[in-house]
Amino acid sequence: MTRLVIGTRGSALALAQVELTTAALSQAWPELQMGREIFITRGDQKLDLNLLVKGEAGGKGLFTRELEEALLDGRIDVAVHSLKDLPGHNPPGLEIAAVLERAPVADVLISKAAGGLDALPQGARVGTSSIRRARQLAWLRPDLLIEEWRGNVPTRLRKLGERADVQGIVLAEAGLLRLGYSMEKAMLRCDGAEFFAASLAERMLPAIGQGAVALQARSDRAEVLDVVRAINHGPTMFAIRAEREVQRLLAGDCSVPVGVRTVVEGGRMRMHGILFFPGRTEPVTAEAEGMVPEDVARELAAKLR
């Protein structure tokens, strides 16, 4: 194979992830030519959808369907996704062929005052588009007012500076790092504005697949699979196998309020999960460990259910 066409969304973060992908592919296959097709997904178009409400807005494939359709009809060879955007089930004929090395998985509170989550004033307004983050925030701080907050990372940061009534937003550390934002001395700078950055790694469990970049391809394209698998990061895929199986068993997409942290040491996996049910404030939490990702996932999913 001499030329590979890569599909992606057009956001700054999506394009940064494509740059990481093309750099890895160029190192593995110096003679490979690469083209790029940019797609506008339904999630990009429907900015009025409230992602904190499960239903149409949180449906499967909100940010991925257009790329998957392009894979299936042969317009592109591989699609680059933020793994946490992918539903638990691949469409028939598609697979995750490879993942890049995982970035830090923590959520980060970006706020206008120092001190992190506990320092937010009583009744503070916090923005997020993630139902997982919203449910965990409401559990940890029931007094907070959680506001649906859409847009790419630069847009959200700009809005935070403009909105006097919003004290903070929650973003993924991986996305901030990939976009080149500096969080030196717990500060984040954007367009001349300064915010305080506090990791929530010890307080909140990340999304399934958070921090990982997935390369999706057709299962019957052996020549594409051979190229892409050359840059697969084995330890990340090992963890992702378990997390994706939990997602599948919970019939999950990105609208299900489930968080999972996976730690692999010496070939042994330990998973910690949290799941919120409708109408219940208190979540179910569980842990599982073992050597086979799918077995660990089945144990964790059973305990969470």
Q: How far apart are CA 210 and CA 108, in angstroms?
A: 13
Known active-site residue 191: no
Q: How far apart are CA 183 and CA 144, in angstroms?
A: 24
Burial 232-241, CB ≥16 within 10 A → b, else e:
bbeebbebbb
Of the candidates 91, 147, 168, 129, the one whose C-alpha atom is nearest the C-alpha of residue 257 is: 129
Q: How far apart are CA 104 and CA 127, in angstroms?
A: 21
Catalytic residue among 77, 85, 107, 253: 85
Place of tokens 């919003």: 166
Q: How far apart are CA 245 and CA 252, in angstroms?
A: 10
Backbone conformation region of residue 74, classed left if phi is above 0, alpha if psi is from -120 to 50, else beta: left
Output DSSP code: residue 139: H
Q: How far apart are CA 107 and CA 159, in angstroms?
A: 19
| Contact predicate 9/30, CB 8 Å | no
Q: How far apart are CA 252 and CA 61, in angstroms?
A: 11
Of the candidates 254, 259, 296, the one whose C-alpha atom is nearest the C-alpha of residue 274 is: 259
Q: Report the helix count and the strand count for the chain, using DSSP H and E.
A: 9, 14
Q: What are the catalytic residues?
A: 85
